[in-house]
Amino acid sequence: MTQATARAYPNIALVKYWGKANEDLILPAAGSMSMTLDDFATTTTVTLDETDSFSLNGAEQGEAGASRVIAFLDLVRNFARTAGLDTADQNARVVSVNEGPTAAGMASSASGFAALAVAASSAYGLELSIRDLSRLARRGSGSASRSLVDRFAVWHAGDDQSSYAEEIPAPDMAMIAVPVATGQKAVSSRKGMVATATTSPFYPAWVTSTEEILKEMIGACKDSDFTLVGEIAETHAMRMHAVIAASRPSIRYLSPTSLEVFDRIAQLRADGIETYGTADAGPNVFAITRPEHAEVVSERLRDLTKDGEAKVLRPGRGAHLVGDDAL
Ligand code: PMV
Final residue in a domain of this structure, among 170, 195, 217: 170
Transcribe 121-181 into DSSP letters. Answer: HHHTT----HHHHHHHHHHH-GGGGGGGSSSEEEEPPSSTTT--EEE------EEEEE-S-
Q: Does ipTM come in above 0.95?
A: yes
Cα 232 to ligand 1 centroid, rounded to whole Å: 17
Pocket of ligand 1 (CB under 6 A): 13, 16-18, 32, 109-110, 141-143, 189-190, 280-281
Cα 17 to ligand 1 centroid, rounded to whole Å: 6
Same structural domain for residues 72 and 153?
A: yes
What's the total number of domains in the chain?
A: 2
Residue 326: inside a domain, yes or no?
no
Q: Which ligand 1 atom sits closest to the C-alpha of 16?
A: 13
Query: 163 and 138 in contact (C-beta within 8 Å)?
Result: yes
CATH number at residue 72: 3.30.230.10
pLDDT tens-digit series, residues 264-307: 999 999 999 999 999 999 999 999 999 999 999 999 999 999 98
Residue 171 has pLDDT above 80, yes or no: yes
Same structural domain for residues 189 and 148?
A: no
Residue 318: inside a domain, yes or no?
no
Residue 78: inside a domain, yes or no?
yes
Same structural domain for residues 155 and 202?
A: no
Please indicate, yes or no, whether the overall pTM of this predicted structure exceeds 0.90: yes
| pLDDT category of residue 102 using cuts at 50, 70 and 90 | low
Cα 88 to ligand 1 centroid, rounded to whole Å: 30
CATH number at residue 243: 3.30.70.890
Cα dihedral: 88, 94, 100, 102 (round 10): 90
Same structural domain for residues 292 and 146?
A: no
Final residue in a domain of this structure, among 140, 170, 200: 170
Same structural domain for residues 138 and 80?
A: yes
| pLDDT category of residue 103 using cuts at 50, 70 and 90 | very low
Domain that holds residue 134: 3-170
∠183-36-21 over CA atoms, to 5°? Answer: 80
Residue 322: inside a domain, yes or no?
no
d(CA 287, CA 297): 8
